[in-house]
Amino acid sequence: MNKLIYNVIGCALFGASILMVSCSDAEDIKLPEEELTNSDEFVVTVKTETQDNSSRATAQGIGFTGFDPTEIYLHSFSSEKDGYVTLAIDKNGGNNSFSYRMRINEDDSYVISGDVDKAIDDSSNKLEFGAGEKVYFSSWKENVWECQRPTGEKPKNITFSHFDDTSYPLMWIQDRTKEGNWREIFRSNMEFGRAQLEGMTTLAMDRIVGGYRVLVIFTDFENANHTGETTSYEIDGNEWESLLGTEVSDWSAKIYLGKFPLEYDLRNNALPAGDKNYGYYVSSKDEYKTFNQTSWVEGGGGEGEEVTGGASYYGFGTSTDAEYLCTPVINGETDNLLDVYILFTYKNNGNPITKIYHETSYGSDVYPEQNYIHYLISVFDVRDLKNIFGLGDTASSNYSRSSKPTRTINGYEVIDIKPREVICIGG
């Protein structure tokens, strides 16, 4: 009997102790995982989409294509917060997708990490945003793109005094396929809040740069060959020497393009204000480039293909080649229409003569346009070189529209030569 009473009392005491322990530790009990909401972490996978302008591309290969970046960056849009989240692009299957890990805090602030395979607290590639804070995506790490001046060289400025007295920084045109801040730049076409980021599946990325390529050709407009609907104008090295009394290698040139921004506000998707924030690009690292064979084919047909109409021009000259300018622009922005200057130099038996040409034929017609490459071709008769540099008898040039220089730019005589053909593609 006593044993039974002791057992009952022991069980009661044990139960009470369990109850007491449970009550004291109530705050440490965690709810089942599926009931957690504000502290959950989840992964979002997004496919990028870019503008398609392939329908506007021509046989000459004009038009940007594809999406080059191997990573993009997530920035704060609503604040001046520094830093970014790096998001790797998965290019398998051409999807150009990326993923991020996200956590929503109890106060509705949120954290985004680019390390999808580890907990957010263990990641250094992350940013925290306020409850109402928005973000944007870009292919540029900083919020402001800055044009890189040539390194290892003393920065130069240039003044086109006939236009104004402003001294503009001079920049090199770089190969856009190389790493650097002259490459293509993408930005999301809108900004996103927390709710949008939670359910995002696709992201539209705008290419905010435009491309510019300049080609200058000297050919023989008296040597016209007609084939069906096509007319071609040609000159070879022997004919050049016969007409000018000089070799092709006696001639060289470099090209200036401007005015273009020295910086671009990616956060606000805006250009800077004021002339001091603009400069001119120069071809061939500011070195003169010897004339080489240049050509342009109109009316369809790429290299090696049949031309179906129009005209083709084969001769010698200069161009920006593969180092064509790639720079941020605003669609239709008219305050800084393209301005092109070309410095021509003739060796003249060791006493070089340099003159400058200002191309005005297409300047007012070429409006900046994102996601498109402007081809700008000026075609001259070779006899015009003979006239403007005073090489022998100039009376034989029935096509010459040259006149004596009436002004100078940076100390060089200005050539008032008129191209026989001006071809603008783009804008």
pLDDT band at 11 (very low <50, low <70, confident <90, very high): very low
Q: Which of 310, 297, 301, 315 is nearest to 230 (CA)?
A: 310
Taking residues 172-185, report their average pLDDT.
61
pLDDT in tens, 251-269: 999 998 888 888 899 999 8
Give me the residue label for tokens 């606000």.
Answer: 268
CA distances from 291 to 58, 315, 390 (A): 26, 10, 19
Q: What percentage of the chain carries pLDDT values higher than 90? A: 38
CB–CB of 259/277 below 8 Å? no
Burial class (CB in 10 A: 0-12, 13-18, 19+), 154: exposed
Compute the distance between CA of residue 315 and CA of residue 232 in angstroms, rounded to an integer.
11
Q: What is the pLDDT of residue 1?
A: 46
Q: Average model confidence (pLDDT) for the chain?
A: 78
59: closest CA among 355, 425, 427?
Answer: 425
Split at pLDDT 50, 70, 90, the class of 209 is confident
CA geometry: angle 131, 135, 140, nearest 5 deg: 155
* Higher per-residue pLDDT: 248 or 310: 248
Residues 6+ apart with CB under 8 A from 291: 218, 248, 249, 251, 252, 253, 316, 317, 318
- Three-state DSSP state, 422: strand
Q: 129 or 405: which carries more pLDDT confidence?
A: 129
Across the strands, what pairs with 279?
260
Q: What is the pLDDT of residues 104-156, one digit of tens each?
A: 999 999 999 999 999 999 999 999 999 999 999 999 999 998 886 666 555 56
Dist. CA 274–CA 262, nearest whole Å: 11
pLDDT of residue 20: 40
Q: Which phi and psi angles does 159 have, rounded to 5°?
A: -125, 120
For residue 84, pLDDT beyond 70? yes
Judged by average pLDDT, the poorest of 51-65, 152-166, 172-186, 226-240 is: 51-65
What is the token pair recorded at 306? 């049949």
Q: Is the pLDDT of residue 233 over 50?
A: yes
Q: pLDDT value at position 375? A: 81
What pLDDT score was predicted for residue 397?
43
pTM, 2 dp: 0.78
Residues contacting 104, CB < 8 A, separation 6+: 37, 38, 39, 40, 110, 194, 198
